[in-house]
Amino acid sequence: MGQLYQAISEVEENIAKLLNEVRSLKQYVEYLEEENVKLKRQLCAVSEADTARVQKNAARIQKEAQENLEKLYNEGFHVCHIYFGEPLEGSCLFCNAFLRKD
Amino acid sequence: MEILCSREDFLTGVNTVQRAVPTKNTLPILQGIKLKASDNKLWFEATDLELSIRCYLPVTIHGEGEVVLPAKLFSEIVRKLPDSDLKIVSDDHNVNIYYNNSNFAVNGFDPEEFPEIAEITSEDPIVLPSALFKDMIKQTIFACAVDESRPVFTGLLLHIDKENILLIATDTHRLAFTSSVIPGNEKEFKGIIPAKTMNEIYRLLDDEEVLTIKYNKSRVIFEFGSVQILTRLIEGQFPNYKQVIPQSCNTKILVDGKKFLDTVERASLLSRDNYLKTNTVRFSVENSAIIINQHSEMGKISEQIEIEQEGEDFTISFNAKYITDVLKVINTEQVIMEASGSYSPVVFRPVSDDSYLYLALPLRN
């Protein structure tokens, strides 16, 4: 009888723990929902012109980065993750694939 | 140890294991071949600690034991012995070889010093036909790197995924890929096998034999007939080879592989000894023909091969070896080449066979 009572007590404790976790998760979900609404408002506030400017800037940076990597490769250095920066002997399939992908 | 065997059998054993004896100066004991007589078998063993080869011969044993003999001297002796029956008797670390009415005494090493080649116990090994594996090695091994600065490229990626088996080699300038099927296989294995090991498997494997692969995390053992080849796997991550295979092309051509091989070999005669040592062959693909106009201080060659061409014309330069190597292993008469201009990798495939692919980067002039 004592053992059964102890087992039930343990189950009760576990349920209490789970309940606490659910409570804290609930608070966290509330916080995330609030933040999501806030971010959506901010996003709406950004004008199309601003969006276009940011996108253009990102494209320019990406193009420059690509050109720099191509220049580096053409000057005889690896740009692949395997040998990055090391002197190139001939050509490299992985650099070529990397530049082609970008 | 006291055994009786023929000189021919003895030579077979020595020749089988000798390639595992290191050529560079290492531990003196590794310069030896270990002979071990037990259970009516004479075992030959050699190792450079990365690759170990052992094989056995059925012989008549009058006394069991083991001995380690200097490989180079020992193989020379066996080669130069008359073709007769031999009696080999060891006394401490030394061996007496009796033939006809003569005797050759060789001083050996202490067998206790010879490294133990640990077994790999695998209850469920992978079993596959030798001819298939030999073909796969032949089609890929030439694309491995010789330079040891990046060890992963000095090996071949062996990937067995249930019924599918893949073998891939690359030296970053070119890549060879082959795949096949092992019907009924349920096991999986992925590891980088040193090219030297694969070379030995190719050399020793008979087409009719069955190859058994046992493995653990760091080592693999290939067993066939009376031979066992044990190797350490190359550590490191094999790069993502799929990303380098072009998914499209601007020009697709169909060429007679033998004619193209002969032409490239002839053209490379003029570039082999140029000062750059690049062995460059330059050719144009235009109006359904491959046109080679190669000249050097030594002479000039002009050749034209009729091809089937789809897509735009282009001119391209290659290290001749990158083309001849692959044309020698493609089994079909016609070869497909897929190119995208002068600087992108060119893909070579056999006709009607998706299991093999080779790609090489052209030279950037």
pLDDT in tens, B306-362: 999 999 999 999 999 999 999 999 988 999 999 998 989 999 999 988 999 999 999
Specify whether B273 is located in the same domain as B206. no
Which CATH number goes with the domain that contains B281? 3.10.150.10
- Among the partner-chain residues A82, A90, A93, the one whose CB lies closest to the CB of B345 is A93
pLDDT tens over chain A, length 102 residues: 688 999 999 999 999 999 999 999 999 999 999 999 999 888 888 788 888 898 899 999 989 999 999 999 989 999 998 889 999 888 899 999 988 864
Any CB–CB contact under 8 A between B236 and chain A?
no
Same domain for B94 and B64: yes
- Is residue B157 domain-shared with residue B106, that is, in the same domain? no
Nearest-CB residue to A97 (from B150, B244, B363) = B244
In residues, how long is chain A? Answer: 102
Residue B185 lies in a domain: yes
- Predicted confidence at residue B277, as pLDDT, reads 61
Residue A81: its pLDDT value, please? 87
Looking at the structure, do residues B251 and B287 belong to the same domain, yes or no? yes
Q: Is B365 within a domain?
A: no
Residue B193 to residues B139, B204, B357: CA-CA distances in angstroms? Answer: 15, 16, 20
Q: Who contacts B312 (Cβ-Cβ below 8 Å, separation ≥6)?
A: B250, B251
Provide the terminal-to-terminal Cα distance of chain A, rounded to the nearest Å.
71
C-alpha–C-alpha distance, residues B127 and B107, integer Å:
41
Confidence of residue B294 (pLDDT cuts 50, 70, 90): confident
At A48 the pLDDT is: 82
Q: Which of B195, B220, B242 is the last residue of a domain?
A: B242
Contact B173 A93 (CB under 8 A): yes
Percent helix / strand / coil, chain B, rounded to 5: 25, 45, 30
For B161, the token pair is 């995924």
Residue A85 Cα, gap to closest chain B Cα (Å): 15
Q: Could you tell me if B271 and B209 lie in one domain?
A: no
In this structure, are B235 and B254 located in the same domain?
A: no
Same-domain check for residues B174 and B237: yes
Measured between beta carbons, the chain B residues lying within 8 angstroms of A83 are 150, 172
User: Would residue B118 count as lying in a domain?
Assistant: no
Domain count across chain B: 3
Same domain, B131 and B234: yes
B106 within 8 A of B35, measured Cβ to Cβ: no
- Cβ-nearest to B361 among A83, A91, A101: A91
Instruction: Kindly state whether A101 is in contact with chain B, defined as any CB-CB distance less than 8 angstroms.
Output: yes
Same structural domain, B63 and B159 = no
Domain that residue B32 falls in? 2-113
Please check the confidence at residue B299 and state whether its pLDDT lies above 90: no
**What are the tens digits of pLDDT across the range B74-128?**
999 999 999 888 999 988 888 999 998 899 999 999 989 999 887 887 778 999 9
A24 burial via Cβ count (<10 Å: 0-12, 13-18, 19+): exposed
